[in-house]
Amino acid sequence: MIKNLFVHDQKNFAGIYSIKYYIRGKPWVLTIDDEMLFNDAKQQLDHVQFNVDHPSLWGPLLEKAWAKIDANYINSEAGFSF
């Protein structure tokens, strides 16, 4: 199911990804890049959950796309829309 959210199933060397969410039954395709906010003091990504034991990029990309729908990361904190 998660693979179906990504419009393209290959790695994009340009760092551009298209993600399809269904909102109220209507497909919305969002285009995002793979740049993430990084907190140097904590040595981790800000605003996204990333497991160093399983360094996959799909989780942070989906969170970034959802934050784009909700205007920013703060509005979509903990999966809730405000």
When pLDDT is averaged across residues 34-59 and rounded to a whole number, the result is 69
Structural domains of the chain, count: 1
Rounded to whole angstroms, the Cα distance separating 5 from 58 reads 10
Tokens of 79: 């999966």
- Which residues span the domain enclosing 45? 3-79
The model carries a pTM of 0.69
**pLDDT per position as a tens digit, 8-38:** 888 778 889 999 999 899 999 999 988 877 7
In order of 30, 33, 63, the CA distances from 71 in angstroms are: 12, 15, 12
Rounded to whole angstroms, the Cα distance separating 42 from 6 reads 30
Of residues 79 and 34, more confidence is placed in: 34
